[in-house]
Structure 1
């Protein structure tokens, strides 16, 4: 595990059949594309990886498949979120045994937890799971928003190495990043998700881009990250602006549905999102494919 998580963390889908059995060959093709592009880390079983829809056995099997393909060349961050704390601890132990380098822990909710309950959840998994942890703040799906103060409190726990936060809108990114950076210890990386706002968050100082698009088009997304890393904000913004049609599709139809359609179009796997999520309607899929062909993404 690197001392700090940085650069492009690419999040692929987890192709599976209608019964939730993971397609090893399809997953390997997706992962090989990321390895060949030399992404900085792979985010396995994130929200795009539909971790919440897979059984414990299939989640463990997914990590085993990935660890065999990656063979230590790229750090693997694995989603270990679950409603129950004891289940998240088991998932962390499974992921560690299967070859994960870190766990992505989101406070999944049904009954909304209090801030103290969220903290105790992270404390238990950090202490008993045996994996370095990335705090996974994803309020759009968990319906739990971590305040900077709570995130900073969690970040002080032993074993927490990074935070994955939703990127603020460009108008709020400097203040949003400053608030997070002030709350989180300097030894803990602060990175961002939300592809359409990530470039500005990186320019503001974010350490990593946790990217859905990067899971399919790693070279395109790496070009933005590398431009920021060398201080060329103008080039990063120009490259990001070129992707505006893709970001519009993500916002209109959800990035999950869009990348499933594109993974199929690219011949990387033959999978549909897990039910009850439905694939895109044919006319929308045609629009998605046409847009990506025009953009010439790699």
Structure 2
């Protein structure tokens, strides 16, 4: 389970102290890896210097837990600079989504990954996130990219809710990629289904905030205990509903503030926190889930 923490941001800078403690919590919980500067980490809104500092803070605060750092940017030259900074900070891997303003072609996306992997000394995770990039990978393109040097994993969108269709989705992608390239599911409501369908990892938003319960779900799936994994996911369904309604970033931001981990206004404008009515709903869900968290 790779935990993706929030990066608390003011209008002037990153709250490095709060971020450091968020990352340290994940290390203490024993997550398998930490994904700094993912979408939950607001990487696209930060300057190169801010991202360099966040990478350094993450690696230092993570202790012995491996840190993966997001390096996405609109221009290849900037992606290469972010990759250089991440490696210099001590990142164990990098995460790359094909960001764009003009729609990208498949060949342009392939060339992006070819240019970046040619310079890397650490593994790369392909970030397939059409909801934010508006680019849809074909499995054939995944196969071409996965054959490049240093490509270690593919972070895919949520698998289908139907278990059979989820297995078919994972198996179809796996048939196109080398056997040593792993598949990780994202979209937290689909985590249990994706892991039980054969995904190797869960790239988790909620894991960056509530690592213990997310680890319990992951370990259940890893030991082939579908009843427990599905039960934990079902218990978290009220939170999954809020994720779908308001977006996971805003919900996690509100919970982190409620927990005292971050201050108010912790998202980079023009992003804004939840309005009062939605915030109260989040608080009520968190209170109802307290017994679930206490058990894990």
**Length-normalised TM-score, structure 1:** 0.95
Match of 2:245 among 252, 256, 263: 252
CA distance in 2, matches of 1:264, 1:12: 13
Deviation at 1:36, TM superposition (A): 1.2
The size of the alignment, in residue pairs, is 289
Match of 1:223 among 212, 216, 225: 216
CA offsets 1:32-54 (integer angstroms, 9 cap, x no match): 21111100000100001000000
C-alpha RMSD of matched pairs (Å): 1.0
1:4 corresponds to: none
Matching of residues 140-289 of structure 1 within 5 Å = 140-171=131-162, 172-270=165-263, 271-289=265-283
2:66 corresponds to: 75
Query: Secondary structure of the equivalent of 1:83?
Result: coil
2:100 corresponds to: 109
CA offsets 1:135-160 (integer angstroms, 9 cap, x no match): 01011000011111101110000111
CA distance in 1, matches of 2:241, 2:23: 26
Deviation at 1:231, TM superposition (A): 1.1
Q: Structure 1: where are the runs of 5+ without partners? A: 1-7
Matched, 1:44 2:41: no
Query: Secondary structure of the equivalent of 1:183?
Result: coil
Verify the 8 A CA contact 1:123 1:154 in the aligned structure 2. yes
CA distance in 2, matches of 1:144, 1:46: 17
CA distance in 1, matches of 2:258, 2:123: 36
CA offsets 1:231-280 (integer angstroms, 9 cap, x no match): 11111111110010000000000000000011111011114211111110
Match of 1:53 among 45, 52, 56: 45
CA offsets 1:208-236 (integer angstroms, 9 cap, x no match): 00010111000011000000111111111
CA distance in 2, matches of 1:16, 1:131: 28
Query: Secondary structure of the equivalent of 1:149?
Result: helix
- Stretch of structure 1 that moved more, 122-131 or 248-257: 122-131
CA distance in 1, matches of 2:287, 2:138: 40
Match of 1:25 among 11, 14, 17: 17
Deviation at 1:129, TM superposition (A): 3.8
